Amino acid sequence: MAETDTDPADEFDRSTETGALDDKTGVLGERTPGLFRRYRRLPRNVLVISLVSFLNDASSEIIYPLLPVFLAGALGVTPVVIGLIEGGAESVSSFLKLFAGYFSDRSGRRKAPVVFGYALASIVRPLLGFATSWPQVFAVRFADRVGKGIRSAPRDAMIADSATPHERGLAFGFHRAMDHLGAVVGPLLGFTLLVLIAGNRNAPTLAEYRWIFLAASVPALAAVLVAAFAIRETRKDRDDGRASRKAERERADALRAESSDDVEVAAVTPVDAAVAAPPRFSLRGFDGNFKRFLLIIALFTLSNSSDAFLLLRAREVGISTATIPLLWAALHVTKVLSSLVGGDLSDRLGRKTLIVTGWLFYAAVYLGFAYVSTVGGAWVLFLVYGIYFGLAEGAEKALVADLVPADKRGTAYGLYNLAFSITVWPASLLMGALWSWRGASVAFVASACVGTLAALLLATAVRPGALNIKVRGALK
């Protein structure tokens, strides 16, 4: 698809990149409050959505750490089948996010798909307790991830709409931290249920797995109730979005008046026309940085297979089945801490710096998993792995909001997840195939190489940092 050098979103990038703060001052030169005070000041919708994610993830993570062991032990499936199940479920989820995000932009309503997505997942997830074959597990995981696909892009757009440009990293970092906090609580609940229910904690029966999976429905139901009754109606978010676009347009106009280089851009592609245009189901209107970012995300995701393989690797080096939920909880403790810090750092240091650093952490951890041979080594790698999430996840979503107009954010998050979905299933299939063919070491080394390549491309091909420097200079 053809793209122009003077895209409307280029002007938009300039206006939103003012959110990258230094250590002392905000956008208007005011002193920046302390980190936790800034978190307390986050908009109500961000806090409520984060609570919903906490409850939902607590439910999901009761099941997820036990799922690969359940499949391999109780049902006797191979790594290739595990890759098929997990990769397929995540791929469908990401593909649906494109359509959900686009239609939330067109309708201007985001709450309904968010609530429906959480409700669908809460209904189907306990059905894992009745599965007796891997196709049944696949069907349940498929339906669960459909719910995630419906809710995720509108939810992320609601967060971006609610937060001001200079606190988007903080907002997404807090949301990811609460999501990961649920993934701390969930495995601990799973471990407790395993101790209370299973006769042999290292080899639970199908009936014992069933009771554990059914118990996971309780926090999922709570998540649906909070989403339905506590998230604000989308009409307010839509009004806030209009006000945000007006302010961003005014800032962009001020920048054009101060920079002679911008005069030609203003004559060719006025920002007012870009804001007035309705959202379209197309890449047209998105700038080159965003398009390159999507391609690089797809490449990185090719290295990012299901974490079920990490759990299998941990089991392979000697970590017991009963200890796996504790290992998973420990991983998410580091995710919580790194997400709280990483979101704030992305506002101050720039999104790209945090993402590249996070991806390099990811590649290093996968290289470590290729050669780990001790239980202690596996624990260390899992704890370091959590840093990657804190550095990259929130920064990636904040960067999407920075690179696109406010009225196209739902579509943009859908495209972001589509880029993920294109390669997430092949990633897990390739991981499972390489593992079965040449062993775990070769599979993990291959993933580390692809992740490193993606980090290098992001560092050189996407340039929000240059815009950021120019804007800060213009505002002085």
pTM of the model: 0.65
Phi-psi region of 21 (alpha: psi -120 to 50; beta: other; left: phi over 0): beta
pLDDT tens digits along 213-234: 888 889 999 999 999 999 886 5
What are the residues whose beta carbons fall under 8 Å from the beta carbon of 152, sequence distance 6 or more?
A: 93, 97, 100, 117, 413, 417
pLDDT of residue 280: 54
Whether residue 438 has pLDDT greater than 50 = yes
What are the residues whose beta carbons fall under 8 Å from the beta carbon of 251, sequence distance 6 or more?
A: 14, 15, 18
The burial of 301, by beta-carbon neighbours within 10 Å (0-12 exposed, 13-18 middle, 19 or more buried), is given as buried
What are the residues whose beta carbons fall under 8 Å from the beta carbon of 85, sequence distance 6 or more?
A: 71, 134, 137, 138, 141
CATH 3.50.50.60 fits 8-250+262-475, yes or no: no
pLDDT of residue 469: 36
pLDDT of residue 371: 94
Cα-Cα end-to-end distance for the chain: 38
| Per-residue confidence band for 470, with pLDDT thresholds at 50, 70 and 90 | very low
Please say whether the beta carbons of 307 and 363 come within 8 A. Answer: no
pLDDT tens digits along 256-308: 555 444 444 434 334 343 344 444 555 666 778 888 999 999 999 999 888 88
What angle, 0 to 180 degrees and rounded to 10, lies between the N-to-C axes of helices 44-63 and 217-230?
160
pLDDT tens digits along 21-59: 333 334 334 444 566 777 788 888 999 999 999 999 999
Tokens, residue 14: 């300039």
- Report, as an integer, the average pLDDT of 370-379: 92
3-state secondary structure of 109: coil
- Report, as an integer, the average pLDDT of 442-461: 93
Query: 135-138 contacts: CB < 8 A, separation 24 or more?
Result: 137/67, 137/71, 137/75, 137/85, 138/84, 138/85, 138/88, 138/89
pLDDT tens digits along 375-423: 999 999 999 998 998 888 888 888 888 888 777 787 888 788 778 778 8
Bridge partners of 25? 31
pLDDT of residue 11: 39
| Residue 107, CA atoms < 13 Å, CB-side half-sphere | 13
The dihedral through the CA atoms of 19, 24, 25, 30 has a sign that is: positive
pLDDT tens digits along 106-126: 777 788 889 999 999 888 888
Domains of the chain, residue spans: 8-250+262-475
Whether residue 247 has pLDDT greater than 60 = no
